[in-house]
Structures are given as C-alpha cells and as structure tokens.
Amino acid sequence: MEEKIIKTEYSEVMQKSYIDYAMSVIIARALPDARDGLKPVQRRVLYDMHELGIKYDKPYRKSARIVGDTMGKYHPHGDSSIYEALVVMTQDFKKGLPLVDGHGNFGNIEGDGAAAMRYTEARLERITQEAFLSDLDKDVVDFIPNFDETEKEPGVLPAKFPNLLVNGSEGIAVGMATSIPPHNLGEVTDAVKAYMLDESITAKGLMKYIKGPDFPTGGIVTNKDDLLEIYETGTGKIKIRGKVEIEKGKAGRTNVVISEIPYTMIGANISKFLMDVAALSESKKTQDVVDISNQSSKEGIRIVIELKKDADVDNFVNMLYKKTRLEDTFGVNMLAIANGRPEVMGIKEIIKHNVDFQFQVAKRKYTTLLAREREKKEIQEGLIKACNVIDLVIEILRGSRDRAMAKACLVEGKVEGIKFRSKESKIMAAQLCFTEKQANAILEMRLYKLIGLELEALINEHEETMANIYRYEDILDRRDSMAQVIINELDGIRRSYGKKRKTVIENVAEAVYVEKKAEEMEVMFLMDRFGYARCIDLATYERNKEAADSENRYVFSCKNTGRVCIFTNTGQLHTIKVMDIPFGKFRDKGVPIDNISNFNGEKEVVVAAASQTSLNLYRMIFVTKTSMMKVVDGGEFDVAKRTVAATKLAEDDEVISVVVLNEQKQIVLQTGEGYFLKFGVDEIPEKKKSAVGVRGMKLSSNDYVEQVYYIKSGEGQTISYKEKEIDLHKLKTAKRDGKGTKIRVS
C-alpha cells in the first residue's frame, strides 16, 4: 500500500480536536437534556436498572452490579463517576424527588461520603418506573447504538414531567456550566397544565404556580422580586438563608437554633459554618457565644448556639447572616441541551420543550397502541367468526393432510385435497376468506375457547378493543384529547408524589449587623523569634518586662483598635488589625504572624513598626543589603490595603532594617567583611516610598550590609562582634558614602 502523507497546519488540527472534545463533554457528559432533565450517565444507570429488572417492587441489588453493568454496556468511563451519579440520585437532601431507592450508607447532609459500592444496594423508585421507564416498550423514543454497537440504549427517557425543573441540575462542561435549582413537583405540574391550556402564558403567569425554587433543605429565599427576571432569562442569583428559631436555654440563657440550612451549605460547609462561628468568638467579633453544638440527626438539622444572658440576639443572628454561609447565594444558569445544542432557557422554554416532547411521546405511544389494538381486533373478529362456523372449521381440520392445506382453505377457500362430509360443507368452505393472522389464530385456538363463558369473554374483549381503538383514534386525531391525556397523567403524578413546599419565598430586608466597637485601650505587641505574635495588657507587661524584652524580637505598644505594620525583607508592608491578634496571658503562645497576614514567601519579618494610626506622626529609616537608605514620611504607609509595596528595591537587594526615626543621632553600618561606618542620621535624605534611596556606604564587590545600629545622644552602646566588644561611641565619625573602618579580630 502506498504511503500517503497529509500536510496540515498544527493549530487547525488542535482547534478541531479541541472543539470535538468540548462538544463531546457538553453533549455527552456534563449537561442534562431539556426533555428528561437527565445527564447521559444518569439516564444509562436508570435504563440499566430497568433492564436488570431492579424495579421498585423487587429486591435491592448491589450497587457494584449496577455500576459494572452500566460501565460494560453503556458508559465506558470510570466506575467512580457512575457510582457518584447513582449516589446523588438517592439523596433526598440533594434531589427534590430521588429517582433511586438506596439501601445502606449513601452519605449524609453533613458531607460524609457514601460507603463503597460493594456494600450498598439500590433499586428504582416507583416514580422512576412509572414516569420515566414504563412506556419504553411502546416505541416512544429512539434507541441508539451503544459505544461498541453491541447494545441499544434510549437516546432520552420518556419523562412525564419536567424533571429538569423538579430535580434541578449542576454540571461543569468546557467553557460553560449549568446550575438549575430544584422546584416543587406539584407546582411544576400545575404550571405545565397552565401552559398546555394557554401557550401564550408568560413567565410571570407561570409564577402564579411556580412560586420559586423549593430546596430539599428548606430555608428562605430572600429576594422574591428578583425571581421574575431570573425565570425570564434563565440566569441570576438567588439569595437563600437558613431558618433560625429562638429558644429559651438553661439559666436564663438564649439558644439560637438553626433548623434549616441554605442548599449551598450541604456537605462540608456545615462543619465550616461551625468553625466560622467559633472563629468569630475567638477573634472577639462576638463575645456572646457560650457553646456551639451540632445536634442534627435523621429527623433533621439542629445546630444550637447558646448565648449569654444579656446578648443582643437579633444583632447576633444578623452577624451570622453577614459573616457566615447561613445566608448565601445560589447562582442560577439554566443551561441544558435542547435540539442537540446547549441553550440557556427560562422556565417557559424549559416547560415548552418538555410539553412538545410529551406530545411526541404520546403520539408515538398511541400510534403503537392503536396498531396493537387493530391487530387484536383482527384476530378477535376471526375467532368470533370461526366460532360461528366451528363445525365447518373442525371438518376442514379433520379433512386436511397438513397445516398448510388447512390454512390455504381458511384464507383462500382452496378445498382441493380436503375430505368433506357433504357437498354443502365443501361449498361453504370455498367461500371462507380469513386473513393470515386470523387463520393462524384459528389453527392455534384451544378447544376450551368453545365454552360458552369463554366465547362471551371473547365478545366482551372485542368490544373493549373497539372502545380502545375509538379512544386511541380520537387521541391521535384531536390535540385537545391528547392534551387531556397528558394532563390526567400529570394529575396522577401530583396526587401520588406531590409534597408540601419546604422553602419559603419572600422579600427580606438585608441583614444589618452593627459591630460593637471595642473599648479603646493601650496594649503591648509581642512577637518571638519564631514569628508567633500576641498582645497583652500594659500591667502584665510591666510585671514581666525583663522576660518580655529578652524573649521577644519585637515589643512595642499600640492601640487595640489600630493596626500593626510589618515590613519584610522583600520591601512589602503588611498591615494587621490588632483585633486579629490573640489577646491573652503573658505565657500564651500566640499565633504565627503569617496566619493572620498576607505573607507569601518572604523569608522573615524585618521589623514591626508602631500602630498604623500613629505612623503619620513619624518618619521611617530604610536600609537595604546594598547600603541603599532613605527616610520616608510615615503618612505614606497610612493605606487601606492589607499589603502594599513599602520601598523600591534594586535586583538582588533586600531590606535589612526599618525603624521609626525618633531620637537617633547617629547610625552605624556593619558589613559582612567587618567594615564599620558611623555618620549622622541627618545625612540621610527624605524620599518617597517609591524611591530607591541613596548609597550609605561604599562596598566591595562581594560585601554587603549585615547589621545596622543607631546611637542616641548621651547613651553608651557596646556591641559584640566575633567575640570582641566594640564601643560604638569610640568609632570615628565619618561622612555618608565612605568605605568605613575595618575592625581587626585576632
């Protein structure tokens, strides 16, 4: 075979391949179909259970069997994705109408996962059997080949209600995602009926029936007025709150009880909510909490927060709404596959697609049923006619050599070769003209059918068949009749499976939380050499002054209402609210400073400055490793951001010292090679924080500034350098930008 090389642009191949992949994910994996509201994996799991006979009135079967069969026949992807789809369809806290009846540990609302598929069992729910799978034998939908063309699977299930709205859907495709909230089954069926009676009805008209989402977890939708636009466009944000009740507690205390949670809090977010409330208490945002307990059980959610006697309960509840996920937002994007492509739809479009599908299914169903009834009618009429001339039929059967001869006589009146008792019988036999099907039925008819009661039953059955034919023809000929049939089925589903609404829909004013202002007081900030920070009161510091100064790298006073400024070696300034720093006893460990700030990779803290509220009263001295230095007005650091650039650095340079310019008269720079340069602080010029600064000392190629010392007037200061004591006052005073004096160490 001759080799053929096709040259093409690489970018075109990548583009085509990516588009093919994206469309595969969108159509065949991640998004639900607008007609039955199911993703392909969900549809395949339900159909496989139907094929395996795991119906609602049959015993449970192992989930592993269902997953394995689905994967082998219809869904050649990971077993975990199939099992996860099965699990979600059993969870009544995620689905308004579970489609699978699970037996065993299928997870819970608090985020615990389901047991392994080898332990759990499942079977179809009755609603699934009746409303999704019961008509599959009536040629109501097209069957398509599976992935290896060894099986057939339905392209869509004949759902009898808009499951897309009732159960909602969530999925992430390529470049798009769907997020549809669940709704109340009874309200949705009422809206479908209203649409069928008046197809010009608007979304506003449909909202007379569908009040809004109905989450399985209950809760309160607080922006009722926004729902109309959401339901018209298919996109928007729904604000939901948990349900809070106030109860009397022990010793005159008050209990705030959360009995319903927002739908978005399902899973790990319940434990996160508890941690958030605890964090609010630890950070002194509130001091009203005495105890938090999660008393949830199979009966429902019950989270109890015990408050102090004098607590402002309303303000505390509003704080929960503002500071935790007790009030949250559900993003709506009603995206589904319609006519083979993804489309964002409002509720009217979703209902329209489902109703159109219902009519298609009904037409195919009753066309099939009519064909079956006509076939039954043909056979019944043949049997009744045969019973009227049963003696002749028996004579033909007894006189024929084989079945073919008897059948030819019954169908075509051929009498050659058949032995008759009389000429009259032969003449009558020649006039017979049964159809092929009638003749087969006569030849297979049993003698007990000749009993009077059996014959009467056959006549009654024929009358019933005629009535069915008339009814089916009426349904197929008149759209009103077909619509009434669909409405009757919807009414039956509503009666059998409808439930009361759980979610309250109303307009609620935004929660107003008034944060109690802490009483302003002076505190001492302490940070040890390991980077653990804490605050203590002044009296405690005075009692432990010597230990505090010796054990901590940074010790200074600040207001508890202010902010602490921390400069790093990379030239960044991080500000931290003093309120975020733990306040306690002297021997408390504190918290790592990077846990309460935006540190991101800086090697170490260079210096912690005074409270930010007082920075504009000071000037700051900056010194870098390459001896660049400047004085910056503290007011430049009075900013709202938590992290800003504090200075401009050259490449490979870093800050080694930042201090508040107070009473320092002289500065001493010490290099790594042992050079010391002392000069007056007044030689350092004032610059903007965005400036690099001026050179403080001439350095050799490999030398760098290692330490910076400051001398106040009238104070002696001795340092230790390589085990040699050096009196800084005795160093020769020089000018800035000199080389300095090298200290010899023997």
> Which residues are part of the catalytic machinery?
119
> Which residue in the block uniquely carries the two structure tokens 């400073």?
593
Distance CA 365, CA 384 (A): 28
Tell which residue, 436, 459, 440, has the closest CA to residue 449: 459
Cα dihedral across residues 351, 356, 357, 361: positive or negative: positive
> Which residue in the block uniquely carries the two structure tokens 């300034």?
573
Distance CA 263, CA 214 (A): 10
Distance CA 311, CA 299 (A): 29
First to last CA, the chain: 88
Q: Are 89 and 99 in contact (CB under 8 A)?
A: yes
Query: What distances in angstroms separate CA 331 from CA 186, 334, 345, 418, one per listed residue?
Result: 24, 10, 15, 82
Distance CA 661, CA 675 (A): 24
Q: What are phi and psi of 679, to 5 degrees?
A: -155, 170
- Round the CA-based radius of gyration of the chain to a whole number and report it: 42
Q: Are 564 and 591 in contact (CB under 8 A)?
A: no
Which residues have C-beta within 8 Å of that of residue 185, sequence separation ≥ 6?
A: 96, 97, 161, 166, 493, 494, 497, 498, 499
Q: Contacts by 168-172 with C-beta closer than 8 Å and gap 24+? A: 168/95, 168/96, 168/213, 169/31, 169/32, 169/37, 169/39, 169/336, 171/30, 171/31, 171/32, 171/39, 172/30
**DSSP calls for 262-311:** -GGG-THHHHHHHHHHHHHHHTTS---EEEEEE--BTTB--EEEEE-TT-
Number of Cβ atoms within 10 Å of the Cβ of 600? 11
Q: Are 264 and 330 in contact (CB under 8 A)?
A: yes
Distance CA 104, CA 62 (A): 10
Alpha carbon 318 to its chain centroid, in Å, reads 25
